[in-house]
Structure 1
Amino acid sequence: MRIQLIAALLHSPIQLLHLAFQNCTELRKKYPNGVASDHPAYSSKHDRDKDGYACER
């Protein structure tokens, strides 16, 4: 079990960051102006207008 978790973290650490922010309200607590698509916290589900910037105001 532990080896599988370590393998998952090494394989896709950025994907796990996406789980940290369930919505824009949560993301904005840490990044008040949103995040660009090259930021590790970016998730397309938070980019409603598909402009490459998530949770902008």
Structure 2
Amino acid sequence: MISLWGEAASPREVNASRVTAATGKEEAIQVVTDLLWWSAAHGYDADDVLDAAQARFEAGL
């Protein structure tokens, strides 16, 4: 996932593959899912975690 972040942070090539973009999206979904499972296993409410993450994202943190 970290390597995909590097690709997303840099300008995309004109011939960027849709398969790569789809794979990146699926990997991002899997990471979020894994973090939600971890949060639940440690007693955190998934909605609270997602709300906090969304707020930080929107604030640019």
Q: TM-score, normalised by structure 2?
A: 0.25
Q: Which has the larger radius of gyration?
A: 2
Considering fraction of residues, name the structure with more strand. 1
Considering fraction of residues, name the structure with more helix. 2
